[in-house]
């Protein structure tokens, strides 16, 4: 697997604040990579450094194997879609899409053909003559995408591209972006704080915190085997249990069974006694919170996410046994 | 005007009446056939318009006023626009101080500025009054150039310029094809406001006048002190007419909302 772009010990400091802390990162060719993390984790700063809008204070950035650390954005040949879309208000949709083409010496019929092709890819060829402000948010987003892909970029960079759209449109645009990625074969880097978006869209997922990469890999690997507590918590693991040997394990709420006295518990796995402190009915499922003591003797709050139709009838104050299969226990670094 | 807001509506109508009615008196007096400035006029004629248009001091000072307004507006924009861009887009240390400096002529009384310029430049350095007048007016207009164009920039998304760079435009190309078009409504309104402010200015022009650097308002003021005939009213009416024509052209070509809102989207 060749790298379309590479970060070599890249840091970015703003005064005393370290936004990105000596990260090494490899963006695989022809894949969709997401940079995921809470705000302030350095994901957007990393994307801006890759695009050339902000120079790293240390380290090197390679694009197609060429050291591009000092290249200005206009020499990098990357396509960027901004969170605000940044469509030129004084130009028509077609001129927005054609802006980068003119600068590449593509004019006349060739330019028009490429504009139409790019707009067709996002399904907006009929709006070529409109002004951006006449378009809906979703349409503006598509124009921004068309403008970025029209220049046949080495990489397509997307900065929180879906965060300004309503929920329904957001889900629709996820598959739209995936479709464009597979049709064009482009290498895509997408920044997001939404783990669902990252899990659904990525080939490769990079989880960041406080300027450092916490874990990188295919979504199913990262989701199934988080290596540290931060990643686990970020991806919705809520139960952290310390074993007698001091090792830390985590379990997803949906893998934790709750059984009142006399009901069967899962054999050969984790099994802890406890008291129900909260029951929250949520329609499809029900969340049961149990106060318990883990094998190492620490008090822990465990959360179990049960299917509402098969959940045992428990109420606050009930003595219960909480259990999970051995295979559901994920060992993590503290 | 929506009838659902009676208080605001009434106030607005009252405001228009207070502003417009005195002007109507002046306009009516301008058409007088008599020789004193009074209402109602003694008969109707265009006599005083003819007099105004052939009165050399007014014509000469009109040329001075126009030259001064155009030149000071142009210089203020040439100085103010790069400053605005540096304030809003650059990584300028202490940009608030710089902006306050450019806005300060708005706060300092014009008489004080005029006196200071007179004392320092005319007396001490013996500069020509015309040059000092130009310097004074330019300083007076700088806040408009910085503020009004700044409003256009402040409203515009800074990602626009980054997007242009990312698509392959050099910094100069980005400035010409993206930043300037964003600034255009702001530039228009700054130019219009600057021109009108300079053209109407009395305090600075009064303090820095000389025989060959006297603006129309100062000359008119001078004239009113000596004689009380309707020629001044006729001149005012002509200026009013010209202003209305400029306003209509501006409205037709750009729209007031766009000019004075500095709105881009």
Which domain CATH number covers A170? 3.40.50.300
Give the one of B167, B181, B264 whose C-beta lies nearest to A100's C-beta. B167
Taking any CB pair shorter than 8 Å as contact, residues of chain A touching chain B are: 51-53, 72-74, 76-80, 82-84, 86-90, 99-100, 103-104, 133, 147, 151
Give the one of B159, B184, B264 whose C-beta lies nearest to A82's C-beta. B159
Q: How confident is the model at residue B206 (pLDDT cuts 50, 70, 90)?
A: confident
Q: Which of residues 130-149 of B touch A (CB under 8 A)?
A: none
Query: Are residues A25 and A119 part of one domain?
Result: yes
Query: Are residues A297 and A165 part of one domain?
Result: no
Supply the pLDDT for residue A210.
93
| Contact assignment for A147 to B173 by CB distance below 8 Å | no
Which chain A residues are Cβ-neighbours of B173 within 8 angstroms? 103
- Count of positions (residues) in chain B: 265
Among B17, B156, B21, B137, CA closest to B74: B137
Supply the pLDDT for residue B1.
45
Query: Are residues A248 and A153 part of one domain?
Result: no
Query: Are residues A157 and A38 part of one domain?
Result: yes
Q: Exposed, middle or buried by CB within 10 Å (0-12, 13-18, 19+), for B114? A: buried
Report the range of poorest mean pLDDT among A115-124, A208-217, B248-257.
B248-257
For the segment B6-38, what is each residue's pLDDT rounded down to a tens digit? Answer: 888 899 899 988 988 888 888 888 888 888 777
Global pTM value: 0.79
Supply the pLDDT for residue A136.
92
Answer whether B179 touches A (CB < 8 Å). Answer: no
The alpha-carbon radius of gyration of chain B (Å, integer) is 22
Q: Using the 3D structure, point to which of A201, A230, A259 is the last residue of a domain.
A: A230
Query: Are residues A315 and A190 part of one domain?
Result: no
| Contact assignment for B162 to A104 by CB distance below 8 Å | no
Tell whether the torsion through CA atoms of A218, A224, A226 and A231 is positive or negative.
positive
Give the one of A80, A87, A133 whose C-beta lies nearest to B166's C-beta. A80
Phi, psi of A275 (to 5 degrees): -125, 135
Query: Are residues A276 and A199 part of one domain?
Result: no
Phi, psi of A40 (to 5 degrees): 85, 10
Query: Are residues A276 and A158 part of one domain?
Result: no
For the segment A224-254, what is each residue's pLDDT rounded down to a tens digit? Answer: 999 999 999 999 899 999 998 889 999 999 9
Query: Are residues A223 and A316 part of one domain?
Result: no
Query: Are residues A245 and A154 part of one domain?
Result: no
Task: State yes or no: pLDDT of A1 exceeds 70.
Answer: no
Say if CB A234 and CB A38 are below 8 A apart.
Answer: yes
Query: Are residues A226 and A243 part of one domain?
Result: no
Beta bridge partners of A6: A26, A62
Give the residue numbers spanning the domain of A254.
239-332
Distances (CA, A) of A189 to A50, A90, A159: 10, 28, 8
Percent with pLDDT over 90 in chain B: 18
Task: State yes or no: pLDDT of B5 exceeds 50.
Answer: yes
Beta bridge partners of A255: none
Residue A13 or B96, more confident = A13
Supply the pLDDT for residue B259.
55
Q: How confident is the model at residue B257 (pLDDT cuts 50, 70, 90)?
A: low
Query: Are residues A275 and A218 part of one domain?
Result: no
Count of domains for chain A: 2
For chain A, give the mean pLDDT.
92
| Contact assignment for B264 to A89 by CB distance below 8 Å | yes
Q: Using the 3D structure, point to which of A177, A204, A230 is the last residue of a domain.
A: A230
Domains of chain B are: 56-261 (1.10.3720.10)
Task: State yes or no: pLDDT of B265 exceeds 50.
Answer: no
Q: Closest residue of B to A144, CA-based?
A: B163
CA A77 to chain B, closest CA, distance in angstroms equals: 7
Could you give the 3-state DSSP secondary structure of residue A92? coil
Query: Are residues A126 and A63 part of one domain?
Result: yes
Task: State yes or no: pLDDT of B264 exceeds 50.
Answer: no
Report how far residue A62's alpha carbon sits from residue A326's, in angstroms, rounded to the nearest whole number: 43
For the segment B137-178, what is each residue's pLDDT rounded down to a tens digit? Answer: 998 899 888 888 888 888 888 899 999 999 999 999 999 999
């Amino acid at each position: 697997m060749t790298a379309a772009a590479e970060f070599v010990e890249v840091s970015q400091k703003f005064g005393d604040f370290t936004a990105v802390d000596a990260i090494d990162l490899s963006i695989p060719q022809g894949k969709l990579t997401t940079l995921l993390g809470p705000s302030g984790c350095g994901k957007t700063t990393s994307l801006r450094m890759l695009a050339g809008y902000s120079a790293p204070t240390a380290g090197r950035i390679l694009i197609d194997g060429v050291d591009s650390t000092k290249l200005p954005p206009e020499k990098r040949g990357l396509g960027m879609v901004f969170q605000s879309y940044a469509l030129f208000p004084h130009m028509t949709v077609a001129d927005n899409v054609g802006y980068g083409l003119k600068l590449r010496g593509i004019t006349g019929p060739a330019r028009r053909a490429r504009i139409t092709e790019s707009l067709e890819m996002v399904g907006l060829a009929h709006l070529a003559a409109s002004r951006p402000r006449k378009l809906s948010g979703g349409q503006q987003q598509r124009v921004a995408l068309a403008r970025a892909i029209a220049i046949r970029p080495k990489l397509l960079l997307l900065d929180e591209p879906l965060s300004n759209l309503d929920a329904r449109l957001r889900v629709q645009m996820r598959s739209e972006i995936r479709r464009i990625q597979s049709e064009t074969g482009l290498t895509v880097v997408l920044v997001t704080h939404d783990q669902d978006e990252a899990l659904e869209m990525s080939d490769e997922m990079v989880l960041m915190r406080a300027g450092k990469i916490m874990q990188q890999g295919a979504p199913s690997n990262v989701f199934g085997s988080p290596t540290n507590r931060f990643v686990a918590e970020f991806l919705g693991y809520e139960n952290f249990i310390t074993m007698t040997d001091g090792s830390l394990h985590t379990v997803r709420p949906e893998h934790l069974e709750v059984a009142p006295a006399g009901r069967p518990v899962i054999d050969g796995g984790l099994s802890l006694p406890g008291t129900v402190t909260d029951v929250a009915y949520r329609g499809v499922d029900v969340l049961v919170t149990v106060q318990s003591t883990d094998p190492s003797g620490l008090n822990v709050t465990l959360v179990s996410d049960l299917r509402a139709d098969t959940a045992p009838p428990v109420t606050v104050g009930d003595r219960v046994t909480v259990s999970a299969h051995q295979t559901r226990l994920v060992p993590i670094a503290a | 005007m929506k009838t659902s807001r009676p208080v605001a509506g009434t106030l607005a109508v009252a405001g228009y009446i207070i502003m417009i009615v005195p002007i109507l008196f002046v306009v009516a007096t301008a058409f007088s056939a008599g020789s004193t400035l009074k209402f109602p006029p003694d008969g109707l004629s265009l006599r005083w318009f003819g007099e105004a248009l052939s009165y050399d001091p007014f014509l000469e000072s009109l040329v001075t006023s126009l030259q001064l307004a155009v030149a000071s507006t142009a210089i203020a924009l040439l100085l103010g626009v790069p400053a605005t861009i540096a304030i809003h887009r650059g990584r300028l240390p202490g940009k608030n101080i710089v902006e306050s400096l450019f806005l300060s002529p708005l706060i300092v009384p014009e008489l004080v500025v005029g006196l200071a310029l007179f004392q320092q430049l005319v007396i001490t350095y013996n500069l020509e009054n015309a040059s000092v007048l130009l310097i004074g007016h330019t300083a007076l207009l700088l806040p408009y150039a910085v503020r009004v164009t700044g409003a256009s920039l402040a409203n515009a998304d800074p990602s626009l310029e980054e997007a242009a760079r990312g698509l392959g435009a050099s910094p100069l190309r980005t400035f010409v094809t993206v930043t300037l078009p964003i600034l255009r409504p702001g530039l228009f309104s700054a130019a219009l406001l600057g021109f009108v402010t300079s053209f109407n200015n009395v305090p600075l022009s009064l303090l820095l006048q000389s025989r060959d650097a006297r603006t129309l308002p100062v000359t008119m003021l001078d004239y009113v002190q000596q004689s009380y005939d309707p020629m001044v009213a006729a001149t005012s009416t002509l200026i009013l007419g010209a202003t209305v024509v400029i306003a209509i052209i501006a409205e037709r070509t750009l729209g007031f909302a766009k000019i004075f809102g500095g709105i881009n989207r």
